[in-house]
Amino acid sequence: MRFRPVSAIHIWNALIADAAAAHMNMLRVWAVDSIEENAFYDLCDRMAFLIWQDFIFACGIYPEEDAFAENVRVEALENVRRLRHRASLALWCGNNEMEAGLGGLEVEQPERAPAVQSLKAGYDRMFHHLLPDVVAAEDPDRPYWPSSASSGIPFSDPNGQQRGDTHYWDVWHGRKPFTAYREQFPRFMSEFGFQALRLTRRSRCMPSPKTRI
């Protein structure tokens, strides 16, 4: 289950209780959001959930300058020290979908190969050295996973089904039927799903077809 944080503790309580009732045992704090408040981890500790904790890097390209890398190191250090005592914390993950994205860019736009190689070098510095070094020094008993999805081997079939974790969005995003899930056999499916309807109260704010411009 991918967990998208909200601020009200009673809503957290209800969501985590619902996850437990559905026989889930792990929540992922997703890189597109934020590292959560202590109250969230208090609830997960108390309800015996495991937490897959992303660092907050996702679906993009980040600066390669030394000053930025130092800022990342300090932020990672502060958050690892803040959360390393948590019973619920199971794993640190470097980012969301950046490895797969760079690999796809190289395949889809071969004319940009030199630029992509430079981006890969910056990626390697941050996600294969800087962040795992912080985790190894400050929280050595917990595993570090470089990206989601990843095979665990840099840029080697990062969304494959033979190693590591997989994201599968061909149902909904790829317009395949729900039966397509029966053809997927990954080692660990860390993302899949279907886009939900918007909140009713937001739908009521939308203009009617007659009044749309």
Give per-residue pLDDT as tens, 6-47.
Answer: 456 788 889 899 999 999 999 999 988 778 889 899 999 999
| pLDDT band for position 198 (cuts 50, 70, 90) | confident
Q: Fill in the DSSP letter of residue 160.
A: -
Name which of 195, 164, 174, 209 is nearest 2 in CA terms.
195
Inter-residue long-range contacts of 140-146, CB under 8 Å, 24+ positions, other chains counted: 142/84, 142/89, 142/90, 142/91, 142/92, 143/91, 143/92, 144/91, 144/92, 144/93, 144/94, 145/91, 145/92, 145/93, 145/94, 146/93, 146/94, 146/95, 146/99
The Cα 102–Cα 115 span in angstroms is 11
| Active-site amino acid positions | 97
The Cα 128–Cα 154 span in angstroms is 8
Take residue 210 and report the two structure tokens written for it.
């007659």
CB 148, CB 98: distance < 8 Å: no
Take residue 192 and report the two structure tokens written for it.
């899949």
pLDDT in tens, 112-163: 888 888 999 999 999 999 999 999 999 999 999 999 999 999 999 999 999 9
Name which of 138, 129, 136 is nearest 81 in CA terms.
138
Name which of 51, 30, 52 is nearest 96 in CA terms.
30
Q: What are the helix and strand counts (H, E) for the chain?
A: 7, 7
Name which of 63, 54, 50, 56 is nearest 24 in CA terms.
50
Name which of 177, 207, 182 is nearest 194 in CA terms.
177
Cross-strand bridge partners of residue 91:
52
Q: What does the mean pLDDT of the chain come to? A: 89
Take residue 105 and report the two structure tokens written for it.
């860019």
Looking at residue 27, its pLDDT comes to 94
**Of how many residues is the chain composed?**
213
Name which of 190, 59, 70 is nearest 126 in CA terms.
70
pTM of the model: 0.86
